Structure 1
Amino acid sequence: MKKPLIKYCGNSSQEDLEASVSSNADYLGLIFADSKRRVEPENVQKWLENIELGRKKLAAVFVNPALSEVKEVISKLPISVIQCHGDEEPAFLVKLKEETGLEVWKAISSHEDVLKEMDRFQCAADGFVVDSKTKEAYGGTGKTFDWSIVREVTDHAGKNNKKCFIAGGLSPENVSELMKRGPEGLDLASGIEDKGRKSKDKIKLFEEKVMNHDTTA
């Protein structure tokens, strides 16, 4: 079993980014939507003056954005992935890809028709983030969903050459259980935080759990 892709989301300070950059993550998420972790592109620009991303890629997270809003962000930052986390339609994702030339991912909530929802975006999305959803939030709830579907959604995405990340309540304490289900990608924010900030110790522990499972699977 190969190492899963890792995305640390919700980096909301220079210190967060520095901690995430020093990790083994593949993607670093920045939130440009209503959230306690929302950032402004001008601030991120300043942080990046002192940070070398290396091979790590930045993912910009939006919720029901206007096209102009997305373009403004990517004009200021070296964004590699646009992640849509709201009620966006497939046609909008296609427009994003055409206008920006970037990879576009669609976050979808875990429910009984999740495979049909994935099919609806097959022609528009380059990847999926399967997350928990509540009445109060589109995602980023810090709550897990029923992981019995993880292998099914991962395989479904893979058959169509799409990436698939599992989000929602991941942490060093439960990632070993998730790894048994063969996820392709892991996406988390609060699970590697201490008092609202990215913790190098928690990141190290999380990655040790992932790699230890990898070597014994």
Structure 2
Amino acid sequence: MSAKAKICGVSTPEAVQAAVDGGAAFLGFMFFPKSPRDIAPEAAGRLAPPARAKGVKVVAVTVDPTDAEVDAIVAGLSPDLIQLHGKESPARVREVGQRSGRGIVKVLSVSDASDFTPAASYEPVVEHLMFDTKPPKDADRPGGLGAAFDWTLLEGRRFKRPWFLAGGLNPWNVADAIAQAGAPLVDVSSGVERGPGLKDPALITAFLDAVRRA
């Protein structure tokens, strides 16, 4: 079975349409002021209809959101899934899921094999896991930095939930990443941009073509 892709951090109608036309299974909107891809919930809500019409799952990407922020995102976008990219504990993940009534994608940052250990404590409270590259200590945000980790760390691992591979993926390396990690799902953001936060429809198309061929 071929991998499915999530295009993350979209903010224009052109990017949304390229993702939908190219066969993306998930579309992510970023709600984090430090990100160049940050968008207001209402603006994301106006961009989402083409994705919903084609059955593409809409994902709200957050970092340690407050209850008020969760409420605003649900009201403005009504996402299918909420992605938690911060230091949320399993208890907090459960709270967000119950409060929002949405499935949760929990991101775990990876640099070595020990970073997969926490996955077991999150599996009971999430719909998906995501493994992203651990950011440098001086980074001002937890992802979207265009750096990859050693994909072979995932080789042969099994998880109880479907999982995404993220971090440093682009149209030229995603096929190798899928092969090395055995990833059922892949996530891309900066790898399909021509500048920080500027999604390139042609790169989105190329990425989705590469995933499909892989």
Give the TM-score taking structure 2 as reference length: 0.89
Note the alpha carbon deviations across 1:35-55, whole angstroms, 9 max, x for none.
Answer: 110000122233346x35320
C-alpha displacement at 1:78, in angstroms? 2.9
- 3-state SS of 1:104 partner: strand
1:73 aligns with 2:73: yes
- 3-state SS of 1:123 partner: helix
Which piece of structure 1 moves more, 176-185 or 201-210?
A: 201-210
Query: In the alignment, which residue of structure 2 is the partner of 1:64?
Result: 64
Q: Size of the alignment, in residue pairs?
A: 206
What is the correspondence of 1:115-134 to structure 2 with a 5 Å cutoff? 115-134=116-135
1:3 aligns with 2:2: yes
1:86 aligns with 2:90: no
Residues 133 and 141 in structure 1, CA contact (< 8 A), matched pair in contact too: no
Q: Distance in 2 between matches of 1:40 and 1:207?
A: 26
Query: In the alignment, which residue of structure 1 is the partner of 2:44?
Result: 44
Note the alpha carbon deviations across 1:60-118, whole angstroms, 9 max, x for none.
Answer: 01101112211211112130000000000110111122222211011001133122110
Question: With CA pairs under 8 Å and 6+ residues apart, which has the higher RCO, 1 or 2?
Answer: 2
What is the correspondence of 1:6-45 to structure 2 with a 5 Å cutoff? 6-34=5-33, 35-45=35-45
Note the alpha carbon deviations across 1:110-144, whole angstroms, 9 max, x for none.
Answer: 13312211012122222111001222131111100
Q: Distance in 2 between matches of 1:28 and 1:43?
A: 14
Query: In the alignment, which residue of structure 1 is the partner of 2:149?
Result: 145
Letter in 1 for 2:115: V
Q: Distance in 2 between matches of 1:82 and 1:52?
A: 16
Q: Distance in 2 between matches of 1:203 and 1:132?
A: 21
What is the correspondence of 1:189-200 to structure 2 with a 5 Å cutoff? 189-195=189-195, 196-200=197-201
Q: Distance in 1 between matches of 2:152 and 2:13?
A: 36
Query: In the alignment, which residue of structure 2 is the partner of 1:99?
Result: 99
Letter in 2 for 1:169: G
- 3-state SS of 1:183 partner: coil
Structure 1, unaligned runs of 5 or more: none
Give the TM-score taking structure 1 as reference length: 0.88
Q: Distance in 2 between matches of 1:45 and 1:210?
A: 27
Which piece of structure 1 moves more, 32-41 or 107-116?
A: 107-116
Identity %: 29
Note the alpha carbon deviations across 1:157-184, whole angstroms, 9 max, x for none.
Answer: 2xx2x11000001011111211212211
Structure 1 runs (4+) deviating above 6 angstroms are none
Distance 1:87 1:169, change over 3 A: same
Q: Distance in 2 between matches of 1:91 and 1:105?
A: 14
- 3-state SS of 1:79 partner: coil
Distance 1:102 1:210, change over 3 A: same
Which piece of structure 1 moves more, 186-195 or 59-68?
A: 186-195
Letter in 2 for 1:100: S
Q: Distance in 1 between matches of 2:96 and 2:105?
A: 11
Q: Distance in 2 between matches of 1:115 and 1:93?
A: 17
C-alpha displacement at 1:212, in angstroms? 2.4
Distance 1:86 1:52, change over 3 A: closer
